[in-house]
Chain A
Amino acid sequence: MPNTQQLQDLTTQVRRDILRMVHKVNSGHPGGSLGCAEFLVALYQEIMDRKDTFDMDGIGEDLFFLSNGHISPVFYSVLARSGYFPVEELNTFRLINSRLQGHPTTHDGLPGVRIASGSLGQGFSVALGAAQTKKLNGDNHLVYSLHGDGELQEGQNWEGIMYAAGNNVDNIISTIDLNGQQIDGSTDTVLPMGSIRTKFEAFGWTVLDIEKGNDIDAILEGMAKAKALTGKGKPVCVLLHTVMGNGVDFMMYTHAWHGKAPNDEQLAEGLSQNAETLGDY
């Protein structure tokens, strides 16, 4: 079992991967990716019970669904560094004829991806469907999902959220990346959403906050609690308070880097703040 320092080192390497991937093709989404690096590292390395065979039948292991598909850089980096495909393949991100499409897809058979995402707001429904199948199969493993906070403005989310409690889907832990930012500005300036906690509670979910959403220990502790809350008749929502662009000082606390790649100097600056740990791809 990796210790916190090992997870931290992996996170630093993932940040480098994210920066280098989007820089190379001058496109992609570094902001949300950086904000979720600790979470996805912790999820794949520690929290999820995964088969070491990397087969994709979805049976007998925990499953993860990325609903906010634009943060594909962090997803791909964590998948590669967890053994789903060779890390060198990160070099092909967003290039023609690549399995690493701008938004994750099953179309080209990339291991680790279970459904296409990119058009926002569809992940709750899919994750809930997979959770229902786990129950039908008598499979006691959990379904995890991740969603943007801006993404919650899509109505389909709330159809799924309502369904989950109404049908006692208690084998799911859905995490919201609460970075307070989206494309056109802060979520409060674009479309104020009020209390997300209150909304989920009103829809019948058990909600818990991870206030330090970029702190590995806090994530491990919070997710352990979340796990303990499953199987009790209610779906579980984790509000993960993150900083967009975390770990690269000039990208932090702003929506400016939602979907913008760093130039050469900015890349160098970002990398200098995150020294190589496990080795670049």
Chain B
Amino acid sequence: MKTYTNTGNKDTRSGFGAGLTELGQTNENVVALCADLIGSLKMDDFKANHPERFFQVGIAEANMIGLAAGMTIGGKIPFTGTFANFSTGRVYDQIRQSVAYSDKNVKICASHAGLTLGEDGATHQILEDIGLMKMLPGMTVINTCDYNQTKAATIAIAKHHGPVYLRFGRPKVANFTPEDQNFEIGKAVKLTEGNDVTILATGHLVWEALEAAKTLNEKGISAEVINIHTIKPLDDKAIIDSVAKTGCVVTAEEHSVIGGLGESVARVLSQHQPTPQEFVGTKDTFGESGTADQLMEKYGLNANAIIKASELVTKRK
């Protein structure tokens, strides 16, 4: 089984910051906006290097989205930065009308997504944002898994014309994807070859899926782990091809099972390749305060949960 090396824990939001710094140097049309969370979003470098292309809007996210939409008219490529909850739920209609329906080239960059935000608790831990964003026609939805991939995705979405939701997080997690990767929007990345179960994971759960695959392998279950960094457009073919071979699937995401990656996968499979599926995600609940690890354990979002789901689903074949 192919294994991956963690080159050192890093936060995905720093990958975003590094990508934005690079974009600042390479693409003069890139502008950045932030709503009083520059440090949390790691936008300090961009601000320092390009003060004229950086816009502090204050604690006013709805205004930020509208400003960004307006800035696209005339050719700028705005990257907005705030926490995931304030990037989506807070400003849904602004995104819907001024960005998505108006087809504006805005990149909505969202940190502190999911439970791993930790101690701030449920008011800040959005677990519904993938669903909210994927339902908008024309919106691209990306949830990256580590520092390197977040940096690559940040750079890649500047070249893609159209609205994008880029979701990442707060904690330092394993960094294991190649530094020089070419990030292809909508193209799933197969990480391990396997015959018994397909594990489709996104975001922070990709590393957990790899950890789970190791244990499953020892137990005689060969798992095919695929990194679904783009939830929309979904790589239907990669998913169908894999489950045609394995005959069952586990989806894993730091998000509600209602409206997330799992439901997108179920939609594709029920139509083209009906397959037993188990869902790793939060079960119609809000989060709470706690450390990231405690919360991922309590809400069943780690390697152990993926192992259990895999064992269960292989028996349902």
The chain A residues found within 8 Å of chain B, CB to CB, are 25, 27-28, 69, 94-98, 100-103, 105, 107-108, 116-121, 150-151, 153-155, 182-184, 190-191
Closest to A183 in B: B36
Residues of B within 8 A of A103 (CB): 120-124
User: Contact: B39 with A184, CB < 8 Å?
Assistant: yes
Q: Could you tell me the distance in whole angstroms from the C-beta of B74 to the nearest C-beta in chain A? A: 24
**Which residues of B in the span 23-37 have a Cβ within 8 Å of any Cβ on A?**
34, 36-37
Given contacts A96-B291, A96-B294, contact A155 B39 (CB under 8 A): no
Among candidates B36, B86, B119, residue contacting A150 with C-beta atoms closer than 8 Å: B36
A118 touches B59 (CB 8 A): no
Given contacts A96-B295, A101-B288, A183-B39, contact A28 B119 (CB under 8 A): yes
CB of B11, distance to nearest CB on chain A (Å) = 15
CB distance from A245 to the nearest CB of B (A): 18
The answer on a CB contact under 8 Å between B63 and A155 is: yes
Structural contact, A182 and B59, CB atoms closer than 8 A: yes
Task: Note all chain A residues with C-beta closer than 8 A to B118.
Answer: 27
- Report Cα–Cα, A91/B286, bound state, in Å: 23
* B60/A191 in contact, CB under 8 A: yes
Per-residue CB contact flags for chain B residues 288-316 toward chain A (1 = under 8 Å, else 0) read: 11110011001000000000000000000
Residue of B nearest to A25 (CB): B119
Complex alpha-carbon distance, A280 and B34, angstroms: 40
B122→A107 contact, CB < 8 A: yes
Contact yes or no, A184 B289, CB < 8 A = no
- Could you say which residues of chain A place their CB within 8 Å of the CB of B288? 96-98, 101, 108
**Closest beta carbon of chain A to B81's beta carbon, Å:** 12
Known: A96-B291, A101-B288, A154-B60. A118 touches B123 (CB 8 A): yes
Q: Please, how many angstroms separate the alpha-carbon atoms of A25 and B86 in the complex? A: 24
Task: Tell me how far the C-beta of A204 lies from the nearest C-beta in chain B, rounded to whole angstroms.
Answer: 22
B40 / chain A contacts, CB cutoff of 8 Å: 183
Query: Footprint of A on B, CB under 8 Å?
Result: 34, 36-40, 56-63, 85-86, 90, 118-124, 286, 288-291, 294-295, 298
Q: A155 contacts B123, CB within 8 Å? A: no
List of B residues within 8 angstroms of A182 by Cβ: 36, 58-59
Most chain B Cβ neighbours within 10 Å, of A69, A102, A121: A102
Contact partner of B119 (CB less than 8 A), chosen from A97, A102, A155, A191, is A102
Complex alpha-carbon distance, A103 and B122, angstroms: 8
What separation, in Å, do the CA atoms of A191 and B59 have in the docked complex? 9
A-B contact pairs, 29 of them (CB 8 A): A28-B119, A95-B289, A95-B290, A96-B288, A96-B290, A96-B291, A97-B288, A100-B289, A101-B121, A101-B288, A102-B124, A103-B120, A103-B122, A103-B123, A103-B124, A105-B121, A105-B122, A108-B288, A116-B122, A117-B123, A118-B120, A118-B123, A119-B124, A120-B59, A150-B58, A153-B58, A183-B36, A184-B37, A191-B58
Residues of chain B with a CB closer than 8 A to A118's CB: 120-121, 123-124
| B60 and A155 within 8 A (CB) | yes
User: How far does the alpha carbon of A252 sit from the alpha carbon of B286 in the complex, in Å?
Assistant: 35
Measured between alpha carbons, how far is A155 from B64 in the docked complex, in Å? 11
Excluding A151-B59, A184-B39, 8 further A-B contacts by CB distance (< 8 Å) are A95-B289, A95-B290, A96-B289, A101-B288, A120-B59, A155-B60, A155-B63, A182-B58
Distance between B55 CB and nearest chain A CB, rounded to angstroms? 11
Q: Nearest chain B CB to A63's CB is how many angstroms away?
A: 20
**5 shortest A-B CB distances, which residue pairs?**
A191-B58, A118-B123, A96-B290, A102-B121, A153-B58
- Say yes or no: B289 contacts A102, CB within 8 Å: yes
Q: In the docked arrangement, what's the CA distance between A107 and B122, Å?
A: 10
Closest to A119 in B: B123
A121 vs B91: C-alpha distance in the bound complex, in angstroms? Answer: 13
Interchain CA distance A72-B50 in the complex, whole Å = 36
Rounded to whole Å, the gap between the CB of B289 and the closest CB of chain A is 5
Assembly CA distance A247 to B122 (angstroms):
30
A153 to B61, CA, bound (A): 9
